[in-house]
Every structure is written in structure tokens, then in C-alpha cells.
Amino acid sequence: MNKWVEVLLGLILLVGAILLAWSSATYSWTLFGKSLEFWNAAWIFLKGGIFWFVVMIGFLLLILGISDLKD
């Protein structure tokens, strides 16, 4: 794929996702009584990802420390 097409497609997807999240938070989108607020869901997903990243870094450092103690 052409590099300019990739950049343009990526930019369109990024801006589209941001606009979708903003409009779902601004206007009350509901389906069968459930809220479809993508901004809140993305924020919760990001916080969970950060939590698991920190846990895995701690686990990696623990394993590396135990490995160094054996030597």
C-alpha cells in the first residue's frame, strides 16, 4: 500500500474515532436502555491497560531480580 494512502487512512480513522467518542458523550446515545458512551469506555480501558502494564513491569523486575540472585 502506498505510504501516503496509509497516512491518510490512519488520519481518517483517528479523527473518526475521536469524533464518534465525542458525539456519543455529548448526545445521550442509548440502545435498549444502555448507554453507548464510547469516551467513558475508552477511558476505563486505558486505565486498565496502564494498571496491567505496571503489574507486568513489576513482575518482570521481580523475575529478573530472582534470576540475578541465583548467579
How far apart, in whole angstroms, are the C-alpha atoms of residue 42 and residue 24?
Answer: 12
Q: Where are the domains of the chain?
A: 3-70
The reported pTM is 0.61
Q: Are 37 and 29 in contact (CB under 8 A)?
A: yes
Average pLDDT, the chain: 84
Largest Cα span, the chain: 61
Cell of 16: 473518526
How far apart, in whole angstroms, are the C-alpha atoms of residue 13 and residue 6?
Answer: 10
Q: Are 38 and 26 in contact (CB under 8 A)?
A: no
**Over pLDDT 70: what percentage of the chain?**
96
Centroid of chain to Cα 24 = 17
Mean pLDDT of 19-38: 77
pLDDT digits (tens, 9 = 90+) for 47-59: 999 999 999 999 9
